[in-house]
Structure formats: C-alpha cells, structure tokens
Amino acid sequence: MSMRLALLATVLRYTAKPLLSHVRTPDDLRRSFAMFSRFGLRVPRGVMFATQPGPPQMLWVTTPKSDHRRVLLYFHGGGYIAGSPHSYRGMAGRLALLSGYPLVLPTYRLGPEYPLPAALLDARAAWGALLDQGFAPADIVVGGDSAGGGLALCLLANLAAEGILPAALIGFSPWTDLSGSGASMTENAGADPLLPAHRLPELVRFATNGGVAPEDPRISPLFADFPSAPPVLFQVSETEILRDDTVRMADKLRATGAIVRVETWPDAPHVWQFLDGMIPEARVALTHAAAFLTEVWGPAMPGAMRR
C-alpha cells in the first residue's frame, strides 16, 4: 500500500465515512457525492467530451486517437440515488487514454423519484441506442462501478436471456446483492474506510421506494440467471463491505463457463479507481482494465472509424 493510499484511507475514515453515516435524505447524499466528486475529479489532458441527446442522454468520452469501431458502455455508481456521468469524466478520460477506445456513460433514472428497476430500462435503452448507431454486440463492452457495476450485470442478464452477449464486462466493486447477505458486510464493517454497512438497508429503501424486494434479480444480479456470459474482469478491495458481492458473483458466472478474472487490492477504499491522479493504485487498476480491453478486442487502431 502506497503512502498516499494509507493517508487517503485515514482521511476517508474520519471524514467521508462519518458523513455517510449521518446523511438523512437522498438530496443530502447527492450533495455529499457531488462534493466528493469535485475533490477526486482529475480530468486528464487530451480528452474530449460530447453529450448525445436522449433518452437516455449519454456522455461520450474520447481522445483524438480513439478507435471508434468499438465502445465501453459504462454505468456510473452512486447507490442508485446519486451520481452522474459528469462526475466520472476524470476516471473515464483516463481509461479512454489508456485503452485507446471511447467510453459512453448514460444518464439513468435514480430513486426514490424513479425507483428500481427504472435504471435497468434505461440501461437497455442505452444499449439499443448503440445498436442503432451501428455497433454490433461484439463491439460493446459493458461496465460500471458499485451500483453501476451491478446495473451492468443486470443488463448482461437481461441480454443473455435473449441470447445476446456483449464482448465482455468490467466491474469495479459491483453492488450485486441489495439484500446485503454477504459475509463481508459484517466482517469488513470496521475495516472499510468509506462505506458504513449499517446504512445499506436504508439506501435500498431509497433506491427501490419499497416497490421491489432486494433479492429481485432485476436489481440484484447475484440472484439472476446467466445462461451464458462473456469474459469478465472484476476489481475489488479485500477490506470493503462489498467484497463478497464480487466474489460470489464471480463464482456464479464461472459456473456458466465464463472466464472471470478477479483482481483484489488490500486496504483500498470502495471504487478507488475513481481517484486516478491522487493514488497510484488507481492508475494501476485502470491500466489493468485497459489491458483487459486489449485482450478482448486486440490493440486499438488510432483514429479508426466504423464503416
């Protein structure tokens, strides 16, 4: 663990975690998320952004050398009640630079105003929009972090039920079990430097507005069926409360015959990849994710366009 990460974990433990332990409303959480995003946002040079009208509205993240034949469809985190593509410009921009491929980040509806599974409908609409633009399923990797990682997996289950598979999936600490049944929810409750485990049931109530059970496979992909799955890369911290959301999801996908790689980091906060430019562990993780895209698609061809 780098000195920067050790310092950051201490700062989060005594600032962000107490804040998240006491926020009262979704609006409070949204303000906290926005504040944290401004703190962690480091947009790299050489990255371009363009907004595609919706619904759903989508933020394209490219570089002058991006290979436009393929795209990473990436869903932001925020517990299904906060966050936006705008907050992810730094991390998405770095991954676009490292991989040579563009990213597109959809806006999806959030609870409690638009309770789950509204987000899944928007994810499917974003997938459809890419197909309408001429991308084939094999030209699309789906991905996301935290709730967005869970949403990517819910989309994968939805597509797989129809015999449709993207090229691959990338998940950074995906939230796959909204019932909170993983052992790490209690084992890592004290060790996690960011997420307060005791607030999870309340977060689920906000996200669902009481409309669906936490075990519903449309919102908890751990309980979904995957008749088949493409190659998958997961990254997760060994000390976060969502560790077992990743571990058990990986086991489930392997049972379908999927090739699943799980990379673990010691003592990192939840979705540390977001902090590229602040801690070296973030850059290493994003470099691994970019290498995974190269394994799936081959090296990017700078400036290549779809025919």
Let me know: does 194 contact 20? Beta carbons within 8 Å: yes
Paired tokens of 84: 């936006």
Which H or E element spans position 168?
Answer: strand 168-172
Give the pLDDT score at 37.
76
Tens of pLDDT, residue by residue over 85-143, are 999 999 999 999 999 999 999 999 999 999 999 999 999 999 999 999 999 999 999 99
Which one is catalytic: 37, 84, 220, 270? Answer: 270
Q: Is 86 a catalytic residue?
A: no
Q: Is 4 helix (H, G, I), strand (E, B) or coil?
A: helix
Tens of pLDDT, residue by residue over 8-21, are 999 999 988 998 99
Rg (CA), the chain: 18
Distance from first CA to last CA of the chain, Å, rounded?
Answer: 45
Which residue carries 């926005």 as its tokens?
A: 34
Give the pLDDT score at 71.
98
Q: Is 123 helix (H, G, I), strand (E, B) or coil?
A: helix
| Crossing angle of helices 147-160 and 118-132, rounded to 10° | 70
Residue type, 152: A
Paired tokens of 26: 């979704």
Q: Is 84 a catalytic residue?
A: no
The tally of CA atoms less than 13 A away on the side-chain side of residue 301 is 7
Is residue 307 pLDDT above 80, yes or no? no
Backbone phi and psi for residue 51, each to the nearest 5 degrees, phi listed first: -100, 125
CA–CA separation, 51 and 34 (whole Å):
19
Tens of pLDDT, residue by residue over 178-211, are 999 999 999 999 999 999 999 999 999 999 998 9
**Domains (ranges, CATH) in the chain?**
3-297 (3.40.50.1820)
- Of the pLDDT bands very low, low, confident and very high (cuts 50, 70, 90), residue 72 is very high
- Of the pLDDT bands very low, low, confident and very high (cuts 50, 70, 90), residue 38 is confident
Tens of pLDDT, residue by residue over 209-267, are 989 999 999 999 999 999 999 999 999 999 999 999 999 999 999 999 999 999 999 99
Let me know: does 107 contact 84? Beta carbons within 8 Å: yes
Is residue 25 pLDDT above 70, yes or no? yes
Paired tokens of 182: 């993983």
CA–CA separation, 170 and 73 (whole Å):
10
Let me know: does 144 contact 76? Beta carbons within 8 Å: yes
- Of the pLDDT bands very low, low, confident and very high (cuts 50, 70, 90), residue 40 is low
Name the DSSP letter for residue 115: -
Q: Is 270 a catalytic residue?
A: yes
Which one is catalytic: 84, 237, 240, 281? Answer: 240
Backbone phi and psi for residue 290, each to the nearest 5 degrees, phi listed first: -65, -40
Which one is catalytic: 37, 84, 87, 146? Answer: 146
Flag whether the pTM goes above 0.85.
yes
Give the pLDDT score at 54.
85
